[in-house]
Chain A
Amino acid sequence: MRSMLNLQNLHATVGEGDEAKPIINGLSLEVPAGEIHAIMGPNGAGKSTLSYVLTGREGYEVTEGSATLEGEDLLSMEPEERAAKGLFLSFQYPIEIPGVPVMTFVRTAMNAQRKLRGEDEISAPEFIKKAREVGAALNIDAEMLKRPLNVGFSGGEKKRLEIFQMMMLEPRFAILDETDSGLDIDALKTVADGVNVLRRSDRGMLVITHYQRLLDYIRPDRVHVLAKGRIVASGGPDLALRLEKEGYDGVLGEPA
């Protein structure tokens, strides 16, 4: 099995200068192409930090270790280059982009990625057709796509919009950071269906969640427990069930 995302002994700090605080402490993880791995872990364990480190957010500094996507060094790339390579992050807290309608935003992003990859732009009719299809699949109102991205959207709407963007951009590797929190029961199902549509032999995913429920819909190949900046336990889907029953203390045998 080809490993798609490969993290080896990753160490990273958050914050500038003297304030820099180690959050990721020797994290190793491999996600093969075609697989979906889930990451669970207590609040403050470093799950979102990992997602920012991988996508290249400013203020998150890697001090040791490596991170590659399909053999290419992610850490030496700008955030937009990583995106053009096919890395996508569904944010735990999606950001409001005032004044930029969803459609304009997604089209700009799509064409920017294509340009970076040396591909042609998507035509306007082709884009609109695709947006309509994806919007319909996710039960997103067409009116919503005309509004400035995330501005005034409810928590659940924002999460749905993240998946809308993911399905439009068709990334090679997606990280979903608590996309399930804030979604109502029906929306959770819709979003999970969207994710399952993208399941493909040449695509990988890392799904960060606190709840077993999402994993009922998106069956992960592996489940990892992240605590104190490292992967401390890994197993099959049943690990999530055990965590739900016994809690982190129970599974890890010590307070996380």
Chain B
Amino acid sequence: MTIADASNPLSNPTIAEKKLFDRCRAMRATNSRTSAFGLFAETGLPHRRMEQWKWTDIRAALTNLETPSIDLAKQTVEVPEGACVLIFDGVAWKLPETLPEGVSAHRQSDATPLKTIEGLPLGQLTASMTGQDSSSDFVSIEISGKVDQPIFLDFASAPAETAFARLAFNILPDCSVRLIEAHSGNAAFSSTLIEFRLQSGASVDRTFVQRASTAQSVGITATAVLGEKASFVQTALGFGAKVCRVETHVRFEGAEAHAELNSAYLAGDDHHIDFTSHVTHAAPSCTTRQLTKGAVSKGGRGVFQGKFLVPRSIGQFTDADMQHQALLLEDGAEVFAKPELEIYADDVECAHGNTSGQLDEAALFYMRQRGIPAVEARALLTEAFIVEALQTAHEAVRDQMIDEARNFLRAEG
């Protein structure tokens, strides 16, 4: 299929979709772009009639694409001292003149779309909109050492209709990298795709904060493929947007690998935040630990969709745990959750838990009896609840993340 063929497969494209089709048609066609866009064009922007998107309707949120009028300074985290900073301005990646030892970066013209983005419409859209001759950069980074210096990825796009950012990390055997990301750009629609390939014994530690206004829609998609004894640890704090989807796909391909997915979300009025993840245990004796904690105030909406897939025989001796706990801070707060365990192997240990509830009135009264005003008592209890999911965050920004959460809760109360 050519891009021209794919230009209008939808019977009723929205203004935003038409713009995206036009933009793609104007770019040089390459095989991978054509196929990535073709896959995207089959569905268009993800919408509520697609099972995986029933609670997060990007198409409805993005009916038209208008550049937000104001440049909002959105507090996320500050660059820790000594970090290597990569800035994405909405079009291009600005790389530092010298990269730390063990890090090399290349601008890519075109990369073969990885199998791992199949079925990820935002991933496919981002893949087709990045690379040479297109509106934005695609950078691939190879890690060939144990890199201690944190790499700070600053997604700081200027006000624009769209911002598509794409990175690919290849972590060589026994090498490691630690990333800190601030997702606080100003595009009406920003979509980020990061692909990680962890070779045997490699490790990635990723911490990020997402913050956006209710004039913005955000997608943050990551895929990680893990070789033997590799380790992928991700810690996220999300405040949502008009709609925000954080999607993480982990696939174990070598034995005894380990993944940790910890997320905290705080959604205020008119903010929507969705944490979706999919972990495939396609190798024996791998472990997954997943903890998602959220708090939602009036008019906010939180979504958790988690899935563990353990195929027959190759998934033997899987040990996986998925927990989602949400607090509805006020009437009019919404949380939707769908934890799924799909297990075909027989010798596995898989557990999951899913709760949502309100702050304990007895605890609130107890705190007020000791002199702590109601607003502060609520914030303190909520913060204590949320913080558990931030324990694995990079130590250089963990306290900042907790402060951000606290400030949000004080302001909400």
Contact = CB atoms under 8 A, between A and B. Distances in A.
Interface of A: 55-58, 78-80, 82-84, 88-89, 91, 94-100, 105-106, 108-110, 112-113, 116, 148, 165, 169
Contact of A95 (B363, B371, B376, B385): B363
B393 to A, nearest CB: 16
Contact of B371 (A96, A99, A109): A109
B376 A97 contact: no
B369 A96 contact: no
Contacts of B365: 57-58, 79, 95
A84 B384 contact: no
A79 B365 CA distance: 8
Nearest to B361: A58
Contacts of B374: 78, 80
A58 B377 CA distance: 15
A83 B365 CA distance: 11
A139 B282 CA distance: 54
A194 B249 CA distance: 57
A230 B324 CA distance: 48
A83 B370 contact: yes
A100 B380 contact: yes
Looking at B362, B370, B381, which has the most chain A CB atoms within 10 Å of its CB?
B370
A94 to B, nearest CB: 7
Given A95-B362, A99-B384, A83 B369 contact: yes
7 contacts: A78-B373, A88-B370, A91-B366, A95-B362, A99-B381, A100-B384, A116-B373
Name B's interface SS: helix
Nearest to B368: A79
B371 A80 contact: yes
Nearest to B376: A112
Contacts of B387: 99
Interface size class of B (residues with CB under 8 A): 20 to 34
A80 B373 contact: yes
A78 B368 contact: yes
Contacts of B372: 80, 108-109, 112
Interface in B14-41: none
B388 interface: yes
Nearest first, the 9 A-B pairs at minimum CB distance are A99-B384, A113-B371, A83-B371, A109-B370, A79-B368, A95-B366, A112-B371, A80-B368, A112-B372
A97 B367 contact: yes
Contacts of A83: 368-371
Contacts of A58: 361, 365
A156 to B, nearest CB: 18
Looking at A78, A84, A99, A148, which has the most chain B CB atoms within 10 Å of its CB?
A99
Interface in B343-394: 360-363, 365-374, 376, 380-381, 383-385, 387-388
A88 B381 CA distance: 21
Looking at B368, B369, B388, which has the most chain A CB atoms within 10 Å of its CB?
B369
A76 to B, nearest CB: 15
Interface in B106-123: none
Nearest to B377: A80
A97 B371 contact: no
A172 to B, nearest CB: 12
A98 to B, nearest CB: 6
A248 B14 CA distance: 79
Contacts of A94: 366
A52 to B, nearest CB: 8
A97 B366 contact: yes
B385 A98 contact: yes
A108 B384 contact: no
Contacts of A84: 371
A110 B371 CA distance: 7
Contacts of B376: 108, 112
A99 B388 contact: yes
Contacts of A55: 369
Given A78-B374, A80-B372, A100-B380, A109 B367 contact: yes
Contacts of A113: 370-371
Contacts of B385: 98-99
Contacts of A88: 369-370
Nearest to B366: A95
B387 to A, nearest CB: 6
Contact of A108 (B366, B369, B380, B388): B380
A99 B385 CA distance: 6
Interface in B38-68: none
Contacts of A112: 370-373, 376
